[in-house]
């Protein structure tokens, strides 16, 4: 389906900023220039987020084969689904989102924006891979020229978008020691590792895939000129809590911390967990004063409004 020979299209505003978060750093016991944030939450299209870098590659593939419909899958509050809908609107393509489970009683968060962008939503009726795959196949067989984008927008070709991001970070902050990022479907971390190496990238598992280590290693190995040993990857596995869609106490604390020191908002599923992992790494002395750490903000703000339990945060 994918060819690495097709150049990406531009769907966002680049480069995204890299900013110091000095008040937050000091609250964590670090120096004012020890902690920075890469603002991939302000990529421009559809409310922003990391999926845009991937969609620049996958949508280029779709256009190259004459696709008329983009089809993708995700959870009800999928940021990837929202941004696929926005990309399709920008490109004049039909968009069908196949979402796991049953249609909720009320429409909140990303679901509101999916509909605003004109996406058609198909509820798979179950969360199993077979239920979702069957629904995708039915949509693909319904006419036009379909192009199916994988769960999370992740493939080895799409991960090249985060090779681009890694290069930006190096240009903006030479000598960066590490980048901490949420690990969902794996493509964002894979692209960073492919360019920066395993020693400078830490992924925080959010529970989106059963085996995040093999997932990331497999993606890196499929990328041109890249290879990695799975056991060398730096992946934090202690932030999943009761499951992907649940709000953990640590994530809630991380959201509160960055909001109250810097006025920057995180989401409960991805960036909240990732920043909670960073906080724990500081507590464990794996991140110390005097080194430069970049937290990659992958977006997801609309997801805040799909979690009513966040209204209890004080």
Annotated catalytic residues are: 78
The pTM (predicted TM-score) of the whole model is 0.94
pLDDT at residue 2 in the model: 54
Which pLDDT belongs to residue 299?
97
Q: What is the pLDDT of residues 75-99, one digit of tens each?
A: 899 999 999 999 999 999 999 999 9
pLDDT digits (tens, 9 = 90+) for 5-54: 899 999 999 999 999 999 999 999 999 999 999 999 999 999 999 999 99
pLDDT-derived band at 312 (thresholds 50, 70, 90) equals low
Res. 289: pLDDT tops 60:
yes
- 51, 38, 57, 136: which is closest to 86 by C-alpha? 51
Show the tokens assigned to 102: 């049953």
**Which residues 6+ apart lie within 8 Å of 293 measured at CB?**
30, 34, 35, 36, 176, 177, 178, 179, 180, 278, 287
Could you tell me the sign of the dihedral formed by the alpha carbons of 72, 188, 193, 271, in that order? Answer: negative
Supply the pLDDT for residue 302. Answer: 87
pLDDT above 90: residue 248: yes
Predicted confidence (pLDDT) at residue 307 exceeds the cutoff of 80: no
Q: How far is the C-alpha of 79 from the C-alpha of 100, rounded, in Å? A: 14
Q: What is the band of 304 on the pLDDT scale with cuts at 50, 70, 90? A: confident
Give the tens place of pLDDT for each residue, 108-132. 999 999 999 999 999 998 778 888 9
pLDDT at site 1: 45
Q: What percent of the chain clears pLDDT 90, i.e. is strictly above it?
A: 86
In contact, 158 and 189? CB cutoff 8 Å: no
> Mean pLDDT, to the nearest integer, of 203-232?
96
Q: What are 133-175's pLDDT values in tens digits?
A: 999 999 999 999 999 999 888 999 999 999 999 999 999 999 9
The span from the CA of 76 to the CA of 100, in Å, is 7
The pair of structure tokens assigned to 128 is 């199993």
**Helical pair 51-64 and 160-172, crossing angle rounded to 10 deg:** 140
Write phi, then psi, for 257 (nearest 5 degrees): -60, -50
Question: How does the average pLDDT of the chain come out, rounded?
Answer: 94
User: Pick from 9, 3, 5, 15: which is nearest to 57 by CA?
Assistant: 9
């Amino acid at each position: 389906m994918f060819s690495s020979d097709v150049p990406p299209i531009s769907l966002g505003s680049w480069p995204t900023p890299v900013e110091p978060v000095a008040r937050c750093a000091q609250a964590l016991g670090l120096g004012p220039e020890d902690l920075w944030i890469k603002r991939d939450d302000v990529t421009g299209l559809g409310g922003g987020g990391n999926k845009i870098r991937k969609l620049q590659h996958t949508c280029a593939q779709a256009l190259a084969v004459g696709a008329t419909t983009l089809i993708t899958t995700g959870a009800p509050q999928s940021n990837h689904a929202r941004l696929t809908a926005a990309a399709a609107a920008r490109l004049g393509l039909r968009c069908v989102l196949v979402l796991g489970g049953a249609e909720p009683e009320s429409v909140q968060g990303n679901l509101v924006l999916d509909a605003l962008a004109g996406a058609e939503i198909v509820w798979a009726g179950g969360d199993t891979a077979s239920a979702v795959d069957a629904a995708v196949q039915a949509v693909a067989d319904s006419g036009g020229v379909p192009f199916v984008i994988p769960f999370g927008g992740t493939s080895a070709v799409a991960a090249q978008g985060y090779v681009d991001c890694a290069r930006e970070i190096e240009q903006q902050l030479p000598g960066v020691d590490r980048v901490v990022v949420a690990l969902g479907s794996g493509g964002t971390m894979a692209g960073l590792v492919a360019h920066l190496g395993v020693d400078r990238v830490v992924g925080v598992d959010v529970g989106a895939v059963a085996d995040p280590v093999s997932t990331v290693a497999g993606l890196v190995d499929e990328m041109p000129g890249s290879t990695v040993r799975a056991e060398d990857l730096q992946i934090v596995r202690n932030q999943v809590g009761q499951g992907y869609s649940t709000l953990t106490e640590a994530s809630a604390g991380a959201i509160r911390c960055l909001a109250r020191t810097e006025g920057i908002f995180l989401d409960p599923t991805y960036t909240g967990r990732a920043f909670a992992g960073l906080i724990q790494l500081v507590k464990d002395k794996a991140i110390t004063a005097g080194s430069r750490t970049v937290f990659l903000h992958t977006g997801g703000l609309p997801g805040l409004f799909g979690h009513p339990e966040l209204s209890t945060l004080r």
